[in-house]
Structure 1
């Protein structure tokens, strides 16, 4: 395992936000219920363990998209993955990750 970055994590994929047949930069169809993450530079298919620094919960995800494109954010989890570690109403949380 290799320690990654620390920063803020957000989510994307609200119902209707992304077309059902959208193919992302990693050549996969976006699925808001998949355990996936967007990262700006890590190779597609990289597995990460993301930790919510506020509550200690973790989620294992696969890089399948690029982003986030908001200053200060390092990861964009799918709707489902975010919900496993934080209440979606919060929108963002401090996180770190390790490469599995």
Structure 2
């Protein structure tokens, strides 16, 4: 399965989907509940659920929260355009 950027999807990579940021943009995502952060590269489009701002790969999500949580309150900061 591929991403909107044309890269193959790999849940072990530190990547994410965002609706508008250019592909290749690096962002820091902070879990507001525990202050854990992860840096990811935008390589896909989405998420399309209401109120969602970013969709992390499985590996990236696990860096900042338990997968069983499903959805986290996060802050997204661009670190490299």
Range class of TM-score, shorter chain: over 0.9
Q: Does 1:99 align with 2:69?
A: no
Residue 4 (structure 2) aligned to one of 25, 48, 73: 25
How far apart in 2 are the matches of 1:23 and 1:79? 15
Show structure 1 runs of 4+ deviating over 4 A: none
Paired residues in the alignment total 79
TM-score by length of 1: 0.78
Question: By percentage of residues, which structure has more strand?
Answer: 1
The SS at the match of 2:54 is strand
The structural deviation recorded for 1:27 is 1.1
Report the CA distance between 1:24 and its aligned residue.
Answer: 1.4
Distance in 2 separating the partners of 1:23 and 1:73:
21
Matches within 5 A, 1:3-82: 22-82=1-61
- TM-score between both structures, scaled by the size of structure 2: 0.95
Root-mean-square deviation (CA, aligned residues, Å) is 0.5
Structure 2 gap segments, 5+ residues each: none
